[in-house]
Amino acid sequence: MRTLIISATPKTEGHSAELTAIAAEAAKRAGVEYEVLRLDELKLEACKMCGDGWGVCREKFRCAFDADGFDKVQEKLAWAEALVLITPVYWWECSESMKIFMDRVRRCEGSRMFHNLNDQSLLWQKPCVMVACAGGSGNGTLSALEQMDRFVYHCGGRFFDHIALNRWTFDHKKQAVEAAVYKMATEGGGARRV
């Protein structure tokens, strides 16, 4: 399956960067087409909450301010058949670049459900591996994974795996990241919930 690896670390080295490289290696080993999208390089702007809270996203499933690179993100999501979301844990949550990405994509793709067009979502039934990596206290992986899980759910994606890592579990859990991405890229599948 064409696999899009979305990484939300601002660092080029470190645990999250290593996991991004591991996910890319797994997709390569699976023999599928893959791409790595580094959200921090893209520097998407936060949602501007147009109008009374809903903008054209609710009716047209696009963002009024998509020229900041968001249109390219949507193109990549349309291309992908499977997704890997990787975030460092900041303040018990996903990093800011992952939160901005999810906020904006969800407004466009999640809004399709108001029109019974869920099956046209760019994530529709696509399997997703979600990865949260905590490096400080080790707290916050579950809430970060839950944020990503809600995003995938709202957009109609499948969850394939949730993987939480911290400083103590990194070495054995990174093998789980490799295995999950390889299996998803090769076989697809994952839980269907909407």
Interface contacts to ligand FMN, rule CB under 6 A:
9, 11, 14-17, 88-92, 133-140
Smaller CB separation from ligand FMN, 14 or 69? 14
Provide the 10 A C-beta neighbour count for residue 99.
Answer: 21
Alpha-carbon distance values, 98 to 12, 77, 87, 119, 137 (Å)? 16, 14, 7, 24, 20
Residues for the chain: how many in total? 194
Smaller CB separation from ligand FMN, 16 or 111? 16
Report the candidate in 63, 86, 73, 62 with the shortest Cα–Cα distance to residue 148: 86
Minimum CB separation of residue 170 from ligand FMN in Å reads 8
Query: Which residue has the CB atom at the shortest distance from ligand FMN?
Result: 135
Minimum CB separation of residue 143 from ligand FMN in Å reads 9
Smaller CB separation from ligand FMN, 39 or 80? 39
Smaller CB separation from ligand FMN, 97 or 118? 97
Smaller CB separation from ligand FMN, 24 or 108? 24
Minimum CB separation of residue 18 from ligand FMN in Å reads 8
Minimum CB separation of residue 173 from ligand FMN in Å reads 12
Cβ-based burial of 59 (10 A; exposed 0-12, middle 13-18, buried ≥19): exposed
Minimum CB separation of residue 31 from ligand FMN in Å reads 28
Alpha-carbon distance values, 36 to 40, 61, 102, 107, 111 (Å)? 12, 24, 16, 23, 26
**How big is the CA angle at 98 (ends 75 and 150), to the nearest 5 degrees?**
90
Smaller CB separation from ligand FMN, 69 or 135? 135
Return the structure tokens found at 7. Answer: 């990484």
Minimum CB separation of residue 44 from ligand FMN in Å reads 18
Cα R_g (the chain), whole angstroms: 16
